[in-house]
């Protein structure tokens, strides 16, 4: 059961001929919790003519079939349901993913120094944190995870790391990104895992959804290498539990 | 497994960027996958209309250059989108028309004469195993691959195999023109003078255009947002016009990324995206603002678009002057010798 008690600043914007973007804040701040809650409320309403609901860092995109519901009708419904002082949005239990990872990245020491921690304490902080999937993007299935404690509010590095491998864990801005593919990045590379966020031939090709919880379990490099080599489901030893 | 009604299309030669495309995989922006699908969706719709189909089917998209094809059973097909040089056994084929390819014949499709993306749409559609409800190659995320010489495609059953050959004359979308743009979530980041100036510049499709999008080239003072602060990363959709750091507008197309951090000045309406995809380099592109109400009024579902295209097709009537082997035709069939 989640509630929209203090309605945050919310605006509706057109986003293409068949889209409305419900945006929280002024477009310059991250506001994931209201966005996730709003997405659940909209899903629950099962509005006829709505064909897609997607959550980003501070917004929800609602795509509709204009021949089944008009923009004005949909906007009215969205305002009505989202501006109520308190809205029930019991979406059932959430999911907690536990993903084996090794924190041996070349910039772990750098990151620990930024956070004012020893490397061991930094790893403990990384594995103690229960993170949320704040958004998915840039590559199919690729999650933005957060938020880490305040001490992890470090900027992107000024240089671009030319390439980190698939499975790399990188951090900046109290967030972690788990790379789906080899990629350049301006975030600091601190570890890796064998979790493949998007695998087309898997029964559920996109493993994670916005709002899922993720916790990393520290293991050794050999285990991650072995998991990467031998894993038909691409989940890299991750388990998924239902939160009650 | 092969059904008796299936046809096999053999590809003997293939241009460098020839892919199977349908209407893509909409509905997955939240998990990071853009819809993909045909760059010129109108071309697939016109193909279906020419062939008398009730639904759009998967066809072959040919970027710049086609290929050589053979079939193992009579196959109706349509040629749409960018105009290309096409022949069956040396006989030139009309573009924007349906045709019939027999076993033993060679269908050769060469380079583009106008536009960028041509389409070969078989009446039975390209079948076979799709991924996530679609046959479309989505190259930027590694789904599918370009077609290559030696590949074979399974073509489904033609539901109207006796339908006479048809033509359509679509409105020109191969030589640039007007792009109608509607406001979006970040339009207000650009001051009124900049929004006005967008409509006064003549743009050209940039050389780095691809299935992910098209940068637009222009001369003069660069476009940019009023503030210096970048917006939080948010969804980005097909049609959005993102203004990158150096002031270049970038129109997002089929295989665009799903999240972006550059400000978007607005969104090109769906019907005008084909103009961007098909514009040759140097073809002039201009923007014209639409209100939200005007953009909404211009919306067409795929079904509606197909019905409208179907109303425009007409039978191919051959001009006798165009028939080189006129004398071999039985022109007096049914005429009997009269009594002397």
CA dist B110 and B97 (Å) reads 16
Vertex B292: Cα angle to B290 and B293 (nearest 5): 100
Question: Model pTM greater than 0.95?
Answer: no
Position B313 scores a pLDDT of 97
CA distance B143 to chain A (A): 8
Q: Which residue of A has its CA nearest to B232?
A: A28
Are B32 and A210 a contacting pair at CB < 8 A? no
Which one, of A218, A166, A175, lies nearest residue A194 by Cα?
A166
CA dist B96 and B142 (Å) reads 31
Lowest mean pLDDT among A6-20, A57-71, B42-56, B244-258: A6-20
Percent of chain B with pLDDT over 70: 92
**Strands B284-289 and B177-182, bridge-based pairing:** parallel
CA dist A148 and A128 (Å) reads 10
CA dist A197 and A212 (Å) reads 13
Cβ of residue B269 closer than 8 Å to a chain A Cβ? yes
Select the residue of A63, A71, A142 nearest B296 (Cβ to Cβ). A71
What mean pLDDT value characterizes chain B? 92
pLDDT in tens, B169-178: 999 999 999 9
pLDDT exceeds 90 at position A232: no
Are B231 and A28 a contacting pair at CB < 8 A? yes
Position B252 scores a pLDDT of 97
Please name the residues in contact with B327: beta carbons below 8 A apart, sequence gap of 6 or more: none
Number of inter-chain CB pairs under 8 A, A vs B: 135
CA dist A161 and A170 (Å) reads 11
Residue B5: band (very low, low, confident or very high) from pLDDT cuts 50, 70, 90: confident
Greater pLDDT, B129 or A46? A46
Residue B59 near residue B47, CB atoms below 8 Å: yes
Are B233 and A57 a contacting pair at CB < 8 A? yes
Alpha helix ranges (H) inside chain B: 41-50, 192-198, 273-278, 292-297, 302-310
**Alpha-carbon dihedral sign for residues B312, B165, B45, B158:** positive
Residue B101 near residue B74, CB atoms below 8 Å: yes
**Alpha-carbon dihedral sign for residues B56, B58, B61, B66:** negative
The ipTM, to two decimals, is 0.90
Residue A6: band (very low, low, confident or very high) from pLDDT cuts 50, 70, 90: low
Lowest mean pLDDT among B79-83, B107-111, B225-229: B225-229
B159-192 in b/e form (b: 16+ CB < 10 A) is: eeeebebbbbebeebbebbebbbbbbbbbebbee
Q: Which residues partner with A89 through β-bridges?
A: none
Are B131 and A70 a contacting pair at CB < 8 A? no
Residue B50 near residue B313, CB atoms below 8 Å: yes
- Which whole-number Å values give the CA distances from A48 to A19, A52, A64, A70, in the listed order? 14, 11, 9, 11
Vertex A44: Cα angle to A40 and A50 (nearest 5): 95
The residues in A 184-243 lying below 8 A from B, measured between CB atoms, are: 198, 200-201, 205-206, 208-210
Position B335 scores a pLDDT of 45
Q: How many helices (H) and strands (E) does chain B have?
A: 5, 20
Residue B338: band (very low, low, confident or very high) from pLDDT cuts 50, 70, 90: very low
Position A4 scores a pLDDT of 45
C-alpha dihedral, A132 to A201 to B122 to B69, nearest 10°: 120
Q: Is B281 exposed, middle or buried (0-12, 13-18, 19+ CB in 10 A)?
A: exposed
pLDDT exceeds 80 at position A92: no
pLDDT exceeds 80 at position B139: yes
Residue B34 near residue B255, CB atoms below 8 Å: yes
CA distance B129 to chain A (A): 11
Which positions in chain B touch A19 (Cβ < 8 Å)?
A: 237
Residue B298: band (very low, low, confident or very high) from pLDDT cuts 50, 70, 90: very high
Which positions in chain A touch B141 (Cβ < 8 Å)?
A: 139-140, 198
pLDDT exceeds 90 at position A230: no
Which positions in chain B touch A54 (Cβ < 8 Å)?
A: 29-30, 235
Average pLDDT over residues B317-331: 58
Residue B114 near residue B280, CB atoms below 8 Å: yes
Which positions in chain B touch A209 (Cβ < 8 Å)?
A: 30-31
Select the residue of B33, B232, B238 nearest A30 (Cβ to Cβ). B232
Cβ of residue A21 closer than 8 Å to a chain B Cβ? yes
Residue A109's H or E segment, with its range, is: helix A108-115
pLDDT in tens, A171-195: 998 999 999 999 889 999 999 999 9
Residue B214 near residue B116, CB atoms below 8 Å: no
Q: How many helices (H) and strands (E) does chain A have?
A: 5, 14
Select the residue of A16, A135, A205 nearest B239 (Cβ to Cβ). A16
pLDDT in tens, A99-135: 999 999 999 999 999 999 999 999 999 999 999 998 8
Position B24 scores a pLDDT of 98
Percent of chain A with pLDDT over 90: 73
CB atoms within 10 A of CB A97: 21
Select the residue of A13, A53, A137 nearest B258 (Cβ to Cβ). A137
Average pLDDT over residues B234-259: 94
Q: Is the peptide bond before A147 cis (omega within 30 degrees of 0)?
A: yes
pLDDT exceeds 60 at position B326: no
pLDDT in tens, A145-170: 999 999 999 988 888 899 999 999 99
Position B333 scores a pLDDT of 46
Which one, of B266, B280, B285, lies nearest residue B178 by Cα?
B285
Cβ of residue B238 closer than 8 Å to a chain A Cβ? yes
């Amino acid at each position: 059961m989640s509630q929209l008690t203090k309605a945050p600043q919310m605006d509706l914007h057109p986003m293409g001929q068949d889209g409305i973007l419900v945006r929280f804040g002024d477009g310059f701040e991250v506001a994931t919790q209201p966005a996730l809650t709003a997405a659940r409320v909209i899903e629950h309403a099962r509005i006829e003519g709505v064909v897609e609901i997607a959550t980003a860092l501070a917004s929800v995109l609602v795509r509709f079939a204009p021949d089944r519901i008009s923009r004005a009708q949909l906007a009215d419904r969205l305002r009505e349901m989202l501006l109520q002082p308190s809205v029930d949005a019991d979406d059932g239990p959430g999911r907690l993913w536990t993903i084996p990872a090794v924190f041996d990245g070349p910039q772990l020491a750098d990151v620990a120094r930024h956070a004012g921690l020893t490397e061991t304490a930094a790893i403990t902080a990384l594995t103690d944190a229960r993170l949320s999937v704040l958004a998915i993007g840039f590559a199919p299935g690729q999650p933005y995870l957060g938020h880490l404690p305040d001490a992890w509010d470090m900027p992107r590095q000024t240089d671009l790391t030319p390439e980190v491998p698939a499975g790399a864990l990188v951090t900046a801005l109290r967030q972690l990104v788990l790379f789906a593919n080899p990629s350049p990045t301006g975030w600091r590379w601190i570890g890796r895992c064998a979790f493949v966020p998007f695998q087309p031939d898997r029964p559920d090709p996109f493993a994670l959804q916005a709002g899922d919880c993720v916790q990393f379990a520290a293991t050794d490099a050999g285990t991650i290498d072995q998991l990467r080599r031998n894993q038909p489901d691409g989940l890299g030893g991750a388990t998924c539990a239902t939160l009650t | 497994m092969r059904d008796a009604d299936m046809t096999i299309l053999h590809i003997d030669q293939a241009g460098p960027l020839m892919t199977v495309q349908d209407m893509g995989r909409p509905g997955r922006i939240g998990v990071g996958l853009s819809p993909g699908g045909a760059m010129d969706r109108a071309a697939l719709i016109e193909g279906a209309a020419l062939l008398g189909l009730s639904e759009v089917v998967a066809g072959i998209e040919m970027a710049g250059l086609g290929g050589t094809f053979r079939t193992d059973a009579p196959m109706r097909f349509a040629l749409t989108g960018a105009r290309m040089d096409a022949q069956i056994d040396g006989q030139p084929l009309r573009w924007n028309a349906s045709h019939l390819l027999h076993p033993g014949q060679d269908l050769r499709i060469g380079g583009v004469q106008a536009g960028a993306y041509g389409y070969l749409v078989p009446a039975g559609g390209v079948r076979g195993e799709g991924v996530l409800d679609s046959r479309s190659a989505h190259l930027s995320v590694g789904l599918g691959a370009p077609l290559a010489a030696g590949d074979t495609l399974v073509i489904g059953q033609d539901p109207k195999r006796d339908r006479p050959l048809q033509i359509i004359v679509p409105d020109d979308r191969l030589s640039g023109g007007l792009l109608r743009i509607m406001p979006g979530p970040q339009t207000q980041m650009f001051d009124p003078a900049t929004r006005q100036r967008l409509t006064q510049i003549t743009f050209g499709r940039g050389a780095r255009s691809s299935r992910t999008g098209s940068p637009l080239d222009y001369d003069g003072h660069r476009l940019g947002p009023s503030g210096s602060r970048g917006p939080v990363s948010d969804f980005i959709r097909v049609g959005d016009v993102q203004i990158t750091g150096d002031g270049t507008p970038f129109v997002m197309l089929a295989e665009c990324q799903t999240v972006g951090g550059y400000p978007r000045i607005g969104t090109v309406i769906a019907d005008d995206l084909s103009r961007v995809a098909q514009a040759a380099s140097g073809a002039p592109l201009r923007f014209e603002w639409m209100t939200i109400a005007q953009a909404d009024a211009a919306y067409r579902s795929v079904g509606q678009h197909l019905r409208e295209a179907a109303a425009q097709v007409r039978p191919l009537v051959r001009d006798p002057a165009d028939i080189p082997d006129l004398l071999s035709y039985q022109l007096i069939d049914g005429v009997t010798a009269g009594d002397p």
